Structure 1
Amino acid sequence: MTKSFPVLLASLLAVSSVSAPLQVLAQEAQPLDRIAAVVDEDVILQSELQRAIANIKAQYAGREAQLPPDDVLSRQVLERLVLVKLQVARAQGSGIRVSDQELAQAMNAIAQQNGSTLDALRQRLASDGIDFNDFRASVRDEITVQRLRQSFAQSRISVSEGEVDAALKQQADAGNQFHLAHILVALPDGASAEQIATGQKKADGVKALLDKGELDFNAAAVRYSDSPNALEGGDLGWRTLDEIPAAFAQTMQQMKPGEVVGPIRGPSGFQLLKLVEVRDASAAAGTHTVTEYHGRHILVRVDDAQSDAAAKAKIDTLRARIAGGADFQQVAKESSEDTNSKGQGGDLGWFPADAFGPAFGQQVAGIQDGGVSQPFRTDAGWHIVQRVGTRQTDVGSDNQRAQVRETIGRRKLEDEYNRFLQELRGEAYVSFRSGDRAENTATPPQS
């Protein structure tokens, strides 16, 4: 897909992603007359909600235990769909439009990413019980939301050269950077004593489950966090000390990777914070080079036509052939299901470690030049990767400044846009029709 049409966002749950087979999205997606929610002058149908839930479950295939109970997941997904409706309405009210030509280009890109033509995609959607016009409307909504976010960033987010200079100096002076994840138990503005006590009890209960080892942190975030990034496991990315709340900063320096602190009361509610890993910030700031890898891979997809178990068995067989002396490139040409690299013997060229996601990066970094990884799973399916070579590439000071500027802007946008969404949601008329809705999405058992 071209950069102009980032139409497969995780935030728009009603639209198919590359990793979510279209057939999965059709499960329980037959049109229903029931209304799940009224959002100002618009509605969310029960069928829309079921498609969105199916999409989330497809993304968590093989990790279903990390998802909350169905009733909690349904409320979380419905709330996200409400936000999509509100954003589309605000965008349209601001004059943001997606032309038919732009939509057609996006639809063609989606078809290509699913390995088919637009006509074939239309037929596949029909066979899976998905109305093509509804699908097009969902894609148009997604592009519209992305345009609204871009417009918001252009009008409200700016990064000065002074901020970039300060960040570069801070990187050079700072001892470490911290990769964090969090769980938020939100409290409303002006929370009553009873609401505070309930929030404290829920946060304590989540911490108790983590301490007992009954849930890992990512799964607990998906189940219990009220943060917008809950379904992403609460990941906050890399932060320097001054980007960490003061209540956590001093403690963070004494922690070891994997430890969790909290709950601590903050402006938004009670937070649990996990230290995922630590890196030397000064070393990162002092170098203008990055490590790049030359690699080849073989992919066996997991989709509606091939189960996870069947794909795993196939990749194990291919790995055994290569271990027995078969040529990696020849096996890739014969058996890889990545159409982009298959014809080149699985060759991916030169790439930084994070180019294809963290799982891929960990595997290629963990083997020697000439080595072949063990099979590993990503959203696309099962892979094996061969590392051909490594090199150090000079990214230059200009590129470093651009990366820092982008990082600052992204964090500003994240904070400001989340506040904008809260305001949008608070001003809207929303009536849920799919059952009773509690303020807290789930309450864990108490220790």
Structure 2
Amino acid sequence: MSQTRPELGTPTSYTFPKPRRITVGGGTVVAVDVPGQHLVSLRLVHPFGGAVEPLDAMGVSALTSEVLEDGPGGGSSLAPALERYGAEWVSRVSWDGFITGLDAPAGRLGEAVGLFTDAVRRPALKPDDIVGRRSQLLERFWLEAASAGTLAMRSLGGQLFTGRYATPLAGGPVRLADITPETVAAFHAERIASVAGTLVVVGDLSRVDLVELGKTVFGDAAPAPEREISEPAPPPGELPRVLIVDRPGSVQSALVIAHRAPSRSQVDLPRAEGISEVFGGMFTSRLNLELRERLGYTYGAGSRFDLRRDSGVFFMSTQVEADTTAHSVTSSLEQAAELRDSGVTEEELAAVREANTVGLPVSYSTARSIAGALVDMVVHDLPDDHVDRVRAGYERLTKEALDSAAVEYLHPEEAVVVVVGDAGRLRGPLADTGVGPVEVRTPDELWS
């Protein structure tokens, strides 16, 4: 017997769960209780990412993050120790935050958190472990840079910034090699061990004493100091301009076009990310339709914002055949200029709205995803209802709002173009575009 397919109802607005905030000693616990979610996600946030590293110790936060996995006993002892409690270690560094954490069954959380606290506050930091981790990071840096796309992205900072952002987050091969065990120990003592931070906890918390949890993790550590925010300076030179990172014999080019953007607090997120999606963030974006569908130059092109506490970057990226590189650059810049001049269509507006509202219940269906959103709020000092504000912003988005966003946030006249490919084949055609002066460098020269 056949059945009639039920009709879809109108999607209801998603509401992000309201977190509970508790001050414990020098730190703050930010918690969301999700009944029935028995895998608890715990994240400890310190406000010391790569952006605040001293220039003579670039990469120390990334190296310290790696070394913490050696645990209080040293020698990669942490992961197998946590496995006894069914827990998994988490550690990452961004430009604005140093995040450690674990995912553990609610029933074993207390035991796992004790080991986690020892790993964060009292790690072994054995010199041999630090030197070994440093060698691994250096090897990984060049292995990842074997990807032309990765190399192009890592080359971007020096074209947009002076100071810390000119060198990749992991420190670059030259700076990272100079970091000593003593430097790591000093960074850890000053920025991690002695600073309480903010503890994010998400899961079924019916049997979790959040105050005791905070006391265990924070101990007698001090509150995090306020970070001074100042906009980083740009490097000297004409804009727009082109950098070719030479890879002799390459038959393809990795292409990144980017310019500076406002900081996270200065950006209206639904308008900014909405116009980025129209330009290059969706399969039906302007860039993808032009470079992939119409010209057949690439399998895909994309764009997005990288927003930080003191600045931001907007970039588009793709990979194309070498002989189509110059036209790909001019076509991409033309698409940005046309979007600024003509604005979006009603179909593009509808696609942006739907993409950022309908799927929210799925996006935040796990403890990990909710914890990730809370970490973002902590790192960027966002309000507890940030997700709801952004969702509401997308729901009331208009064509006029996106049109004005294109003018406000897209600046092809200020762009830098980074191309990783065969300079011998690319330099002449790229110079002929008239985009701007062309410089050629080798990968070894980028961060020396």
> What's the TM-score once normalised by structure 1's chain length?
0.27
> What's the TM-score once normalised by structure 2's chain length?
0.27
